[in-house]
Amino acid sequence: MAIDSRNFQAPKGTRDFYPQDMAVRRYIENVWRTTSINHGFDEVEGPMFEDLDLYTHKSGPGIVSELFQVFSGKDKAEIEQIQKTGQAPFALRPEFTPTLARMVAAKAAELPRPIKWFAIPQHFRAERPQRGRLREFLQWNVDFIGDDSPKADAEVIATAVVALKSLGLGPNSVRVKVSHRHAVAALLRKAGVIEENLQVAMELLDRRNRMSALDVQSHASTIGLDIHSFDRMAQDAVLLRGSTLGGVKILRNQVHELVGDIYLVLDLKEELRTLGVADWCDWDFSIVRGLAYYTGTVFEIHEASGAERAIAGGGRYDNLIESFGGPKLPACGFGMGDVVLGLVLKDNLLLNPEKCTKRPHAFVISAGQDAADAELPGLVASLRRAGFHVRHSYKASRDIGKQLAEARKCFAIAAVILGDKLEDRLVEFKDLDAQSQETIAIDAISVKLKEVIRRNDDSK
């Protein structure tokens, strides 16, 4: 048969995950998942695509050009709709919050409260790919719904921090910048912005690092915002950063003077201290988050040097569930993407292969005798059926040293060598971490493996 051969590539801004890339991805996902579960969040998922209206309902028609649109090739009506309107019925999800709000709204009456959910969905944005920003990415979402207290804000932030800590990062390498929409609004009012322009001013603050100083200045003046005065006040407010618990009373007055009644901000600080993560957090009242639906606390997590885009962002969105047909339910949460986080972990040398790889429990070696070659496949299969991760060489060489090198290369915990003693049903068992070796009965391999695996688990 003649082969009609052709080369294809992955679409622009998407990724192929070869085994080493996938090991890193699963390692990060596992830390996200375990941390969420440890903090009492339950995992949820939704469809990869949703009604396009779900996104315009939340973000306005402007979002359409940022979306990948989807239609069924089977349905003539859908194709005709696009031909007529230029718009498809579905969109690949650009974020998880609308799906979450829809799911909560649909079952609000029967779900136990509070609703503590996490998800690790893939997202899609029709943007120009650049460093830290792709067209397809993973995003860890953590949401605490049904609690309007700073306790919930703090728990959500603590969950993010504990995951970053588990990944090897520390408060010197990443910082949580905490702000509050009320505080930012108060500062903006003091800097000359009238009520109707507050939302526009917040959007300007959110985008300012991607604009020239001149553009910021010019946009600011059109809405009456004295940007220098704002920055001066925000910097003063940031003095809160270093506050100790004893200093809270003084700060309370200072803050009250600056930005009005924002006791929530100080309560949040105390909650963060209770949860043991206050040393990762700074106040930064120039943080507003772009999305219009945030209503209170907002925060971003950045690499300490500020070199990369935000690692994570989130906040309180107390009106969103209601806007998707649900009851009025206070909520807060965050999203953390895999792209920027991956860059930060790589820059901090925190992604070594051994840590990300699932270590084989045993690497089975034939010393080359016919009996050993014949025994190997059945032994490997029986150990796998018993639940062990077992590998062996596919190379022609029966050189024991070369096979042991292969075992070490894939980080095997133990090696089992089938050789001359096989006629007495004996094998060599080599603990590759302890570098010890002993002759054991072939039937004792399982028990021996469990011992070595347990020792390995304990030493973590």
Residues numbered 428 to 447 that lie near a copy of itself (CB under 8 A) are: none
Question: Rounded to an integer, what distance in angstroms lies between the CA atom of residue 89 and that of residue 249?
Answer: 55
Question: Rounded to an integer, what distance in angstroms lies between the CA atom of residue 111 and that of residue 151?
Answer: 21
51 interacts with a copy of itself by CB under 8 A = yes
Region of residue 420 (left: phi > 0; alpha: psi -120 to 50; beta: else): alpha
Query: Which of 129, 148, 165, 207 is in the footprint of a copy of itself by CB under 8 A?
Result: 165
Q: Is 276 exposed, middle or buried (0-12, 13-18, 19+ CB in 10 A)?
A: exposed
434 three-state secondary structure: coil
Q: Segment contacting a copy of itself (CB under 8 A): 38-46, 217-225, 261-269, 424-432?
A: 38-46
Question: Rounded to an integer, what distance in angstroms lies between the CA atom of residue 372 and that of residue 417?
Answer: 9
Query: Which of 6, 212, 253, 459 is in the footprint of a copy of itself by CB under 8 A?
Result: 6
**Residue 15 or residue 133: which is nearer to a copy of itself going by CB?**
15
**Residue 126 or residue 238: which is nearer to a copy of itself going by CB?**
126
Question: Rounded to an integer, what distance in angstroms lies between the CA atom of residue 166 and that of residue 29?
Answer: 12
Query: Which of 230, 285, 294, 324 is in the footprint of a copy of itself by CB under 8 A?
Result: 324
Question: Rounded to an integer, what distance in angstroms lies between the CA atom of residue 154 and that of residue 160?
Answer: 10
18 interacts with a copy of itself by CB under 8 A = yes
Q: How far is the CB of 436 from a copy of itself (least distance, A)?
A: 23
Q: How far is the CB of 131 from a copy of itself (least distance, A)?
A: 19
Question: Rounded to an integer, what distance in angstroms lies between the CA atom of residue 151 and that of residue 289?
Answer: 21
Query: Which of 198, 238, 248, 275 is in the footprint of a copy of itself by CB under 8 A?
Result: 275
Query: Which of 224, 276, 306, 353 is in the footprint of a copy of itself by CB under 8 A?
Result: 276
- Does residue 133 contact residue 117 with C-beta atoms inside 8 Å? no
Q: Segment contacting a copy of itself (CB under 8 A): 280-288, 320-328, 365-373, 412-420?
A: 320-328
Neighbours of 281 (CB within 10 A): 23
371 interacts with a copy of itself by CB under 8 A = no
Q: How far is the CB of 111 from a copy of itself (least distance, A)?
A: 8
388 interacts with a copy of itself by CB under 8 A = yes
411 interacts with a copy of itself by CB under 8 A = no
Of 362, 361, 315, the C-alpha closest to 335 is 315
Question: Rounded to an integer, what distance in angstroms lies between the CA atom of residue 102 and that of residue 316?
Answer: 17
Q: How far is the CB of 320 from a copy of itself (least distance, A)?
A: 9
User: Interface mask (CB under 8 A) for a copy of itself, residues 197-226, using x and -?
Assistant: ------------------------------
Q: How far is the CB of 268 from a copy of itself (least distance, A)?
A: 13
To 10 degrees, what angle do helices 97-106 and 52-59 make?
A: 100
22 interacts with a copy of itself by CB under 8 A = yes
252 interacts with a copy of itself by CB under 8 A = no
Q: How far is the CB of 115 from a copy of itself (least distance, A)?
A: 9
Please report the sign of the dihedral spanned by the C-alpha atoms of residue 420, residue 421, residue 427, residue 430.
negative
166 interacts with a copy of itself by CB under 8 A = yes
Q: Segment contacting a copy of itself (CB under 8 A): 159-167, 235-243, 261-269, 417-425?
A: 159-167
**Count residues contacting a copy of itself (CB under 8 A)?**
104
How far is CA 150 from each of CA 23, 35, 97, 278, 322, rounded to the nearest angstrom? Answer: 36, 20, 20, 13, 21
**Residue 64 or residue 343: which is nearer to a copy of itself going by CB?**
64
Q: How far is the CB of 158 from a copy of itself (least distance, A)?
A: 6
**Residue 74 or residue 214: which is nearer to a copy of itself going by CB?**
74
Q: What is the DSSP letter of 11?
A: P
Q: Segment contacting a copy of itself (CB under 8 A): 23-31, 252-260, 334-342, 423-431?
A: 23-31
- Does residue 148 contact residue 28 with C-beta atoms inside 8 Å? no
**Residue 45 or residue 438: which is nearer to a copy of itself going by CB?**
45
Of 276, 255, 274, the C-alpha closest to 264 is 255
Q: Is 48 exposed, middle or buried (0-12, 13-18, 19+ CB in 10 A)?
A: middle
Query: Which of 69, 173, 254, 446 is in the footprint of a copy of itself by CB under 8 A?
Result: 69
Of 253, 37, 69, 287, the C-alpha closest to 140 is 37
**Residue 83 or residue 459: which is nearer to a copy of itself going by CB?**
83
Site residues for a copy of itself, 339-368, by CB under 8 A, read: 358, 360
Of 326, 344, 317, the C-alpha closest to 95 is 317
Site residues for a copy of itself, 91-120, by CB under 8 A, read: 91-92, 98-99, 102-103, 105-107, 113-114, 117
**Residue 106 or residue 307: which is nearer to a copy of itself going by CB?**
106
How far is CA 134 from each of CA 14, 36, 126, 340, rounded to the nearest angstrom? Answer: 7, 25, 9, 10
